[in-house]
Amino acid sequence: MRRRISHASDRRAYLTPDRLQQLSKLQKLIKTQFLDVSLLDQAFTHRSFANETNFKIEDNERLEFLGDSVLGFFAASILYDQFKDIREGSLAKMKSKLVSGPVLSQICKNLGLMEFIRFGKGEKDSGIKNERVMENLVEALIGAIYLDQGLDKCKSFISPHLKKNIDELNDLESVRDYKSLLQEQSQRLFKRTPKYTLVSDDGLDHDKIFVVRVEMPDGSSVNGTGKNKRSAEHAAAKKYLHQGRK
């Protein structure tokens, strides 16, 4: 029987040559060389394994907690820098999508991280396919990189994945609050708000096309179309802002 280690900080003492070899492969995969490889091992230790081993070791749940906050910080920072014309509420929606479970589990799959996690005997078959475990694993890895390498290295690891997913979000346009942006511009330039007028609503009841005109206080105007009045107003505001930037 293996000796039970009395302190989690002594984790290195139980790492076998095979496990160290696995962790070496993992470090090459994530392009990060750890100063304290036991932190990396902790990030890839499921609670079920920690409960079954004879060694007193810590699972990855605390690292997951830390990584969640670090991930949120970088996501907010990237969105703030990249989308300067989007308001706080819309940025919050984008951030929620960017750090969501499906995005994190896809990052896990893309990197092949599940090959390196250790489960207890009763958890492996179900855990290896569990997307919640994948999400937690990515967050735990981020937490471990932050503790071992600091913010700069953590940023260089996670930023490419976040930026890739920003590019792939298919509804970025819907979170841009163009009506609010146009109203702010109108207030700033003319001290008055734009006026929206319904021009037409043609078509069958279940398939109408709405046309709305937005008119600025200086008399300039454009039309926008949509499947309802609100989306037509949004389209008109967007069109006006884009035209004004040319």
- Could you tell me how far CA 85 lies from the centroid of its own chain? 20
DSSP 45: B
Tell me which of 41, 64, 68, 148 is the catalytic residue. Answer: 68
Cβ atoms of 143 and 70 closer than 8 Å: yes
Take residue 75 and report the two structure tokens written for it.
Answer: 């996501």
Cβ atoms of 138 and 67 closer than 8 Å: yes
Catalytic residue status for 81: no
Q: Which residue has the tokens 């035209």?
A: 243
The Cα 129–Cα 162 span in angstroms is: 23
The Cα 47–Cα 61 span in angstroms is: 8
Tell me which of 139, 148, 177, 233 is the catalytic residue. Answer: 139
The Cα 104–Cα 147 span in angstroms is: 20
Grouping H, G, I as helix, E, B as strand and the rest as coil, residue 224 is strand
Take residue 134 and report the two structure tokens written for it.
Answer: 């994948």
**CA atoms 161, 166, 167, 169: torsion sign:** positive
Catalytic residue status for 135: no
Q: Which residues are catalytic?
A: 68, 139
